[in-house]
Structure 1
């Protein structure tokens, strides 16, 4: 099970995630209380092991700006949470994780249009696209047309429900941000508990 800890804002938080066994860490470059600069992300990333993949989260970023940020920050993956088109993705040379807000089965029909490394199913947008701490109806993701080997699950996950989510959806990876925070800061105990629960039974 691939585990991504998103919304990393400090080297300390990044190291917490790495020490707990995270496979990926996420930097948010879209409007969010967890937003970081490309320079901050680069500085944090340089202090972490190379095998931990660095993911940049974007929402409707102009392609030239996205490519500049990806270069500056030293990103391994690009995660898109906006209204990006299949053609937009073709302009990105790095592997892409395309996020889809899931409110009904119809929302899942878009997946087939996108050629990307992973699909990420998330809760419907609230104040921000992603990172809102609410879960969607996981039964909507039971469609046999969804390739499980390319599927990430996000939205309202925490150590108490991630195992159930994995059993119901069978994703290749899970993505968490607010579910491992206390008072809006990454919590080492919650990070450990989440990763332990997510990787149980591997």
Structure 2
């Protein structure tokens, strides 16, 4: 089983998720009550063990901005939750090893 805890907004929660066995932690960059700034996410991701998959959650973000946020936040994967086209998903996938696309 693969476990991802999403909506992380602080280091304590991220470290607790890892200590409890999470394989991945998610950071929401789309508008949301749990939205986090890229710099704050970076401050958390840099403290996590390297084997933890860090995921940025996006919705209908332009690929160039999405990849900029990924780099600034230090996340390894993108999870797309909007109406992204196949071309957009492919563009992001060319730049990242892991891309998760949610479909309604």
Give the TM-score taking structure 2 as reference length: 0.94
1:97 aligns with 2:78: no
Q: Which secondary structure state, in structure 1, belongs to the residue aligned with residue 3 of structure 2?
A: strand
The residue that corresponds to 1:88 in the other structure is: 88
Q: RMSD of the alignment, in Å? A: 0.7
The number of equivalent residue pairs is 101
The residue that corresponds to 1:51 in the other structure is: 51
1:72 aligns with 2:72: yes
Measure how far apart 1:76 and its partner are: 1.0
The residue that corresponds to 2:9 in the other structure is: 9
Give a deviation string over 1:147-200, Cα, whole Å, max 9, x none: xxxxxxxxxxxxxxxxxxxxxxxxxxxxxxxxxxxxxxxxxxxxxxxxxxxxxx
Q: Which secondary structure state, in structure 2, belongs to the residue aligned with residue 91 of structure 1?
A: helix
The residue that corresponds to 1:192 in the other structure is: none
Q: Distance in 2 between matches of 1:40 and 1:16?
A: 17
Q: Which has the larger radius of gyration?
A: 1
Measure how far apart 1:12 and its partner are: 0.3
Measure how far apart 1:86 and its partner are: 0.7
Return 5+ residue gaps in structure 2 as ranges.
Answer: none
1:42 aligns with 2:42: yes
Q: Distance in 2 between matches of 1:67 and 1:45?
A: 16
Return 5+ residue gaps in structure 1 as ranges.
Answer: 102-202
Measure how far apart 1:71 and its partner are: 0.7
Q: Distance in 2 between matches of 1:69 and 1:39?
A: 9
Query: How do 1:1-202 residues align onto structure 2 when only pairs under 5 Å count?
Result: 1-92=1-92, 93-94=95-96, 95-101=98-104
Q: Distance in 1 between matches of 2:75 and 2:16?
A: 19
Q: Which secondary structure state, in structure 2, belongs to the residue aligned with residue 84 of structure 1?
A: coil
